[in-house]
Every structure is written in C-alpha cells, then in structure tokens.
C-alpha cells in the first residue's frame, strides 16, 4: 500500500520517522536528513528523551534547510 511522504509529498511504499520531528519520510528524505549536520544532535536528544522515559518525544524541530516548503 502506497503512502505519501510527509516531507516532500511523494508517493512511497517505505517511510521512516524523522529524528527532527514526527514526520514520516520517504527514503530520499531520510537520506538527506541523515546527512544534515544537526542529525547527531537530533539522535542524541531522542535517546536522552527515551532514557528519561519520554516515549512521545516530538524531536528538536526541523531545520529550515530540510523543509521543502520554505
């Protein structure tokens, strides 16, 4: 079943949740996200939240240069 990437709007059959926010992203957008300089910060913040018991962490926020709508 096809889905729509929350970030770019393209149809995809695979999505992964963003480390920056709660968007479901296609493989192309996930690859761009992982190459972003703030990605290690986002991963660390999510791990800290999980270790503190926050299983509803919404991320550190999407960097403007990853938002295709700006």
pLDDT in tens, 30-45: 999 999 999 999 999 9
Domain residues of the chain, as ranges? 3-55
Please list the helix, strand and coil fractions of the chain in percent, rounded to the nearest 5, in that order: 35, 10, 55
pLDDT of 68: 81
Res 20 pLDDT > 80: yes
DSSP three-state, residue 12: strand
pTM: 0.87
* Strand ranges inside 1-70, DSSP E: 3-4, 11-12, 16-17, 24-25
Rounded average pLDDT over 37-64 = 96
pLDDT of 2: 86
pLDDT of 58: 96
Please tell me the number of Cα atoms within 13 Å of 10 on its side-chain side.
Answer: 12
């Amino acid at each position: 079943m096809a889905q729509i990437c929350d970030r770019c709007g393209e149809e995809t059959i695979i999505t992964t949740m963003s480390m920056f926010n709660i968007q479901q992203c296609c493989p192309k957008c996930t690859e761009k996200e992982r190459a972003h300089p703030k990605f290690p910060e986002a991963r660390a913040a999510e791990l800290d939240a999980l270790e503190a018991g926050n299983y509803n962490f919404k991320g550190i926020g999407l960097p403007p240069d990853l938002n295709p709508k700006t």
